[in-house]
């Protein structure tokens, strides 16, 4: 929650979820410009499209990555560069091991966690990888500056 997040957490999350992809994208675009084409696929998260799927730092960072992705796709389309994102819902990874659930406040528990029970299922990393392969392939040659939601229907509620 915005009233609870400390500066160190905010900066850490922004560096990972915005600064890191930005720097990689900048390098990739410059390589792709010399080659005449290229494809970038970012992992955005449903949290980058919805406001209440995660904490404020994560949500803001993923919204920023959504904007960065869509802007890049649009701006470089005439140069043959496509940039899309994938917005997964819950995926079977070890991320839960990094969360200190004792620090989840009652307000976060009430506002964010209540929607988690509506998730029909968690996805497998391979399901997200197949979506990325599609977006990187020629089969998606007319898909640009978009975010593909891959969440098993969770965001439909």
Q: Which of 12, 58, 74, 157 is catalytic?
A: 58
- Please tell me the distance from the alpha carbon of residue 47 to that of residue 30, in angstroms, as a whole number: 29
Specify whether 58 is catalytic: yes
Q: Is the dihedral of CA 128, 134, 135, 140 positive or negative?
A: negative
Instruction: Give CA angle at 100 (99, 104), nearest 5°.
Output: 100
Helix (H, G, I), strand (E, B) or coil at 78: helix
Cα dihedral sign for 119, 125, 130, 136? Answer: positive
Residues annotated catalytic, as ranges: 58
């Amino acid at each position: 929650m915005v009233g609870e997040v400390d500066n160190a957490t905010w900066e850490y999350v922004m560096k990972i979820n915005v600064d890191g992809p930005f720097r990689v994208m900048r390098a990739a675009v410059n390589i792709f410009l010399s080659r005449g084409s290229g494809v970038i696929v970012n992992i955005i998260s449903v949290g980058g499209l919805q406001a209440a799927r995660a904490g404020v730092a994560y949500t803001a960072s993923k919204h920023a990555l959504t904007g960065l992705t869509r802007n890049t796709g649009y701006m470089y389309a005439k140069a043959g560069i496509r940039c899309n994102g994938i917005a997964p819902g819950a995926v079977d990874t070890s991320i839960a091991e990094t969360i200190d659930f004792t620090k989840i406040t009652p307000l976060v528990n009430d506002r964010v966690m209540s929607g988690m029970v509506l998730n029909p299922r968690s996805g497998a990393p391979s399901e997200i990888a197949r979506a990325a392969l599609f977006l990187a392939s020629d089969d998606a040659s007319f898909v640009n500056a978009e975010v593909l939601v891959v969440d098993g229907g969770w965001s439909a509620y």
